Structure 1
């Protein structure tokens, strides 16, 4: 904003100089303004022109090219879904999902807690213990993750020495149970 007002005031003053016929050469007017700007920059590290030109406009000391304001863009990391591969024409697995999440055989996705390996030296023992646990994703997230991977990652896996083996079965829930319920003993 300050740079824009500085430029407009400088152009206005240059137009006044041209109108008063003190300087008839436009390139000479621009060079005078540039020289005065350079002198003021080197003298006190602030951008300030004399009151005869456009008043005082203090700005941080930087080089002339960096004074143009540029928008700062922070790219947020996104997990995208490729519906069609350019080579095969089929859906592609998102590798970030496979790296960050794990799918249990009954359809639930689990993940580790965020920041569990960062700055452990300043976390308490209780907090470090809490960060070692896994978190279950909710139903909406599980549906989304299922869509982001192919059938290969959705089918059951039978791994040797699988640390998640006790969690692959969910027999205590009616809809995911596979073995029949044990009947209670008959009353006498």
Structure 2
């Protein structure tokens, strides 16, 4: 059983506004039926654990559903709580669109799914994911692994102890502690 995080009222309100915006944008694509778009309004919205760094959104299917086919098979769509800010709103909308495409029956990240994903009008929004991941990693990091040659930084929660090498320079990465926030 998946333990769901309880969303705050302000988070639920933000996600509901985001949902309506995303559905309105998807309505302009002229590929989804009114019934499909209307069904997206029934999906429960929730939030991921705040310590998730790799996952920005997820579509969770109802227990026992082996081969999900439609929105009725969706238990909840969850977004990372850090997305629910004005700063990350464009990316949050894109992530919710991505999850709604899954909910509408496109499970695999195949060429058809990617074509539907690319219909999103903002070309910047999909590219914000790597910056979001980097921000999450830096927030949780207690160490930076730093290349002495190119100065690239890799935020981590554990020391590397000389075990890791920069892919670019082939130099052993140095461990630099990150001071605890005051």
TM-score (structure 2 length as normaliser):
0.20
* Larger Rg belongs to: 1
